[in-house]
Amino acid sequence: MKTSLSHSKVKAGDELPGLDIPLTRTLIVATAIATRDYQEVHHDPGLAVERGSKDIIMNILTTNSFVGRYITDWAGPDALIRSVKVRLGAPNYPGDTMKMTGSVTAMEGKVATIAIRGANSLGDHVNATVEVELS
């Protein structure tokens, strides 16, 4: 079983391992539906274009889910996420890759503050700040 990262091993300035998310059409549609988000811009390319988008785009709930995954991939099952604050930027279109990077910006007791960036070929899709209590 996956072990959890102890707070004693983490300090401000630590980098989290990078994570590349290939943005397939299947991923964008499957995650939109799995979050019960049926807005056409997340699954219907024709209507997305009609509404002024280049193609379908990842929905926000999924962006949040990837931020959550990115944290617990690193911190393990004992991590307790306290808050996730995201600022949204360039859309995640199919065919692109979102490259996630992150670093610890503060440690207070067991609580780490992590700054996360998810960038695609157009720029930053998401900038997130996460507070997570480590084991």
Partner 1 sequence: MAITREGMTVSQTQQETDADKKAFYEQLQGFVGLQIGPPQPAPDEVNIPMIRHLVEAVGDENPIYLDEAAAKASRHGEVVAPPTMLQAWVMHGITPRSNEGDGPYEQMNRLLFSKGFTSVVATNCEQVYDRYVKPGDRLSMTTTIDSISEEKTTGLGTGHFVTTRQDYWDADGNRVGSMLFRIIRFRPAAKSKPKPPRPAPATTHDNSWWFDALKDGTLLIQRCKGCGELRNPPHPMCASCRSMEWDSIEAKGTGSIHSYVVTHYPVVPSFDYPLPILLVDLDEGVRMVMNPIDATPEDLQIGRKVTIEVHKCDPDLSLPFARLAK
Q: Which residues bind partner 1 (CB under 8 A)?
A: 1-2, 4, 21, 27, 30-31, 33-38, 60-62, 64-69, 72-73, 76-78, 80-88, 135
Residues in the chain, overall count? 135
Structure-block tokens of residue 49: 């274009």
Helix (H, G, I), strand (E, B) or coil at 32: helix
Helix (H, G, I), strand (E, B) or coil at 132: strand
Q: Measured from the CB atom, is 12 or 33 closer to partner 1? A: 33
Least distance (Å) from partner 1 to the CB of residue 32?
9
CA distance 9 to 124: 29
Q: Measured from the CB atom, is 13 or 40 closer to partner 1? A: 40
Q: Measured from the CB atom, is 13 or 38 closer to partner 1? A: 38
CA distance 33 to 24: 14
Least distance (Å) from partner 1 to the CB of residue 64?
4
